[in-house]
Structure 1
């Protein structure tokens, strides 16, 4: 969701052909493994040779070598937080609690400062002027997509990124939400059947399973969300989940050490399942007119097997982008609404607008996204007090959790009336500029899947609230060590449920 669905960014850089000139740039943690793996030929022996060669540091520091923060020039240089360790810089403190790190830095150094961490130079802005500039600068001058690739690209097999024909911008821009509402409703019905009449569940675990159903039913067909295929697909898609890059950044080392072998096995497993689903449609002659049909049609110039591999990889990318944060947004909305009986009764009375307001408010409060723009050509940033020139390789940066709950009085508490029925803050929320508060991004970086996401949350929660009486058993706390996306929970949050009288068995 731009901030919410990081997969959109990967799709964007593929569309804009921004990635190819930078394939030799180092990934997170500095080694040149991506460059070698983008030379993937399908021959394992050749790939191993390329990987061994690419891991050797060059004799001189260049873009192809280990990234160094000092190579990114800023004039004039504001206060710089750099830590005591070379290359690591302030990275350890940043990863320990990113939101608290940026809040403390802002209190000490003001709205504009620089952080050097893990070879990256972050030019951090939190003022109204700085944030306006962050969102308005052209993608080819400072790339959101390429910066996101630096953060999460190491998790994904390079061949998964190559040759994609259906990005979120294409699909959500070309098809009306009404075209997949029926699939969403069918997916929720499957989950209600699986839950039964009474029991308890962990909020984020259940929301994740439901999120899988919602997404797969939308772009892989209702068959993918059915019991026949869902339990096979979930562990494979979880293995490829790019959100691990910002929810658990330390997992990058495991992915690097295994050269994405786990992710590749999962990718091929998803390819087999999609091929089975399509073979079933071919046998029965079924054409549903859904996203899956649309995906297959987009590859009609390729042989059948190659086309279905392309379709499966499009599904993975779409699902990775959506699932990375949809389920967390769903869980927080469920927790906020279920904890307030008056909201539950209004939703059961048919107030869909309120439910959408609750979703936007929950996303705002749970945001832990770090928004990055990698500077590709020198740019100027006026933060309202000074004008800075940012050199190539600098990352224009903000973290939404710093401003989202402090930009205006009252934003520190949950109140769905902060939003109108068009996902915008109401005029009564007196922010200096709209960019100070963000859920789905702003301007050209607004999430194309925003409408889908809100529709999915609305349909899922309406069905759950109409079917069950829900009791939140634990106090939810956001995960501290998260540097992107909608917050996960610091510890399990259980919800008890019991089927309501008259809701059906």
Structure 2
């Protein structure tokens, strides 16, 4: 038997096994299988996941399964199913994200299941609304300092301008001033490496480093950077006054060799979504003159003609500009993650279907936020809709799931809202922007994290 016959025989065997093992239970949801063994519909799905989800729902209904890269992804799209997704004991968050955490941060399975609950509790406890308020004054100082480095006027990519200011300021606030890139060369290097890691994060969560050489190199550079940060903390080289930083608390929480790896995930979580949401908020506001004018009236009234260089912005000041927060939450609604996931650990019933254990249960905040039952004219940027939310009591609009839900709702959400509110108010108070490009569309390529812009968005800016 020659090698061609052997290969053909193996191919036939694999296809036969695939068809045999993937027979659908009569109680299972409609399934998009594809025709390539193991890969299934992965190639078609990966071309534009957001579009794929919408087309599959239109064709198969509100619950459907996709075979992709050896996994069964079962999507739920009805609001009445979201409570099961977030609250059912038959689905598990940690089992769903363990493998991606190993791929993106090289944390072993044993370590992840041992320390992840403590990490989640740590962040949730340190970034409560009350504790976030304690970080506000220092964060305002950092934003002021790095905004001044933009100069009195200039131009560039809006996303890049946001990164230049927010990366070092937030790192200083959460990880310690000694651990933030302190000069422009260091900031540019960090921006470059982190952008590569962030933009490839979704692919890195699914593919071996061998296939993503530049991304893997950026990951190793960032791990080395975090190791140096931890060394400074452990050697007491950080002399920040006041409360301990989030990184200092992490050092006392993780007691195995994967401490830097957890630090990398924490670094990514603190920066990755804040940048695009800030970008979208400013871009939406600049594209809507009435929205911009309304926001600026509140900002100017709260600031009371302060110095543009060293602007003091308190939480009380932020409370006087609720419209700015509405703009931020509306940007979050429109550019929410493509999907969040849980793993089915015991069969669950949805409608007349039985979802088997082992499936990854998927829910799309991006499409959930386009449900006209909860958000009339869902494609429109309408900050005014948030007037109905009781934000004073930290209650969002019904149907808003950008931060997830249940036990593993985003633990840093209150810090994130405060951080974005402060930054948007400061940058718009200090600078006047002119859009040089039209508002870009969101990229349909990714499921993980806030949607990135599909095209460029250049701006000119000058001191007001």
Measured against aligned partners, the alpha-carbon deviations of 1:43-71 in whole angstroms (never above 9, x if no partner) come to xxxxxxxxxxxxxxxxx99xxxx999956
- The answer to whether residue 456 in structure 2 is matched with residue 492 in structure 1 is yes
The more displaced of 262-271 and 251-260 is 251-260
Q: Where does residue 244 of structure 2 map in the other structure? A: 290
Alignment check: 8 A CA contact 2:339 2:364 kept:
yes
Alignment check: 8 A CA contact 2:181 2:190 kept:
no
Q: Where does residue 177 of structure 1 map in the other structure? A: 132
- The answer to whether residue 360 in structure 2 is matched with residue 395 in structure 1 is yes
Deviation at 1:95, TM superposition (A): 1.1
The more displaced of 98-107 and 258-267 is 258-267
Secondary structure in 1 aligned to 2:278? Answer: helix
Unaligned runs of 5+ in 2: 1-12, 303-319
Counterparts of 1:231 and 1:170, CA distance in 2:
30
Deviation at 1:337, TM superposition (A): 2.1
Counterparts of 1:266 and 1:484, CA distance in 2:
20
What are the residue-to-residue correspondences of 1:45-444 with 2, within 5 Å?
70=21, 76-138=27-89, 141-151=90-100, 153-158=102-107, 167-174=119-126, 176-225=131-180, 227-228=182-183, 230-231=187-188, 233-238=190-195, 240-241=197-198, 244-246=200-202, 248=203, 252=207, 254-255=209-210, 260=216, 262-276=218-232, 279=235, 281=237, 287-291=241-245, 294-295=248-249, 298=252, 312-339=260-287, 340=289, 341-342=292-293, 343-350=295-302, 351-381=320-350, 383=351, 386=352, 388-408=353-373, 409-419=376-386, 420-422=389-391, 424-426=395-397, 434-435=398-399, 437-444=400-407
Measured against aligned partners, the alpha-carbon deviations of 1:103-152 in whole angstroms (never above 9, x if no partner) come to 111111211222111111122211233223212212xx312232233445
Counterparts of 2:88 and 2:92, CA distance in 1:
9
Measured against aligned partners, the alpha-carbon deviations of 1:381-410 in whole angstroms (never above 9, x if no partner) come to 3x3xx2x22222112222222231233322
Counterparts of 2:96 and 2:23, CA distance in 1:
14
Secondary structure in 1 aligned to 2:154? Answer: strand
Distance 1:184 1:463, change over 3 A: same
Secondary structure in 2 aligned to 1:360? Answer: helix
Distance 1:77 1:222, change over 3 A: same
Counterparts of 1:149 and 1:86, CA distance in 2:
25
Q: Where does residue 40 of structure 1 map in the other structure? A: none
Counterparts of 1:411 and 1:345, CA distance in 2:
26
The more displaced of 365-374 and 207-216 is 207-216
Deviation at 1:236, TM superposition (A): 5.0
Counterparts of 2:25 and 2:300, CA distance in 1:
55
Deviation at 1:365, TM superposition (A): 0.1
Counterparts of 1:272 and 1:164, CA distance in 2:
21
Deviation at 1:438, TM superposition (A): 1.8
Deviation at 1:414, TM superposition (A): 0.7
Counterparts of 1:74 and 1:208, CA distance in 2:
49
Counterparts of 1:151 and 1:75, CA distance in 2:
31
Distance 1:68 1:326, change over 3 A: farther
Count residues in correspondence.
Answer: 413
Q: Where does residue 16 of structure 1 map in the other structure? A: none
Secondary structure in 1 aligned to 2:273? Answer: helix
Q: Where does residue 482 of structure 1 map in the other structure? A: 446
Counterparts of 2:407 and 2:326, CA distance in 1:
23
Q: Where does residue 454 of structure 1 map in the other structure? A: 417
Q: Where does residue 4 of structure 2 map in the other structure? A: none
Q: Is the helix fraction higher in 1 or 2?
A: 2
Q: Where does residue 310 of structure 2 map in the other structure? A: none
The more displaced of 342-351 and 187-196 is 342-351
Unaligned runs of 5+ in 1: 1-59, 427-433, 501-505
Distance 1:481 1:323, change over 3 A: same
Distance 1:495 1:371, change over 3 A: same
Distance 1:233 1:217, change over 3 A: same
Distance 1:107 1:310, change over 3 A: closer
Could you tell me the TM-score, scaled by structure 2's length?
A: 0.78
Deviation at 1:209, TM superposition (A): 3.2
Alignment check: 8 A CA contact 1:83 1:90 kept:
yes
CA root-mean-square deviation? 3.4
Alignment check: 8 A CA contact 2:29 2:355 kept:
no
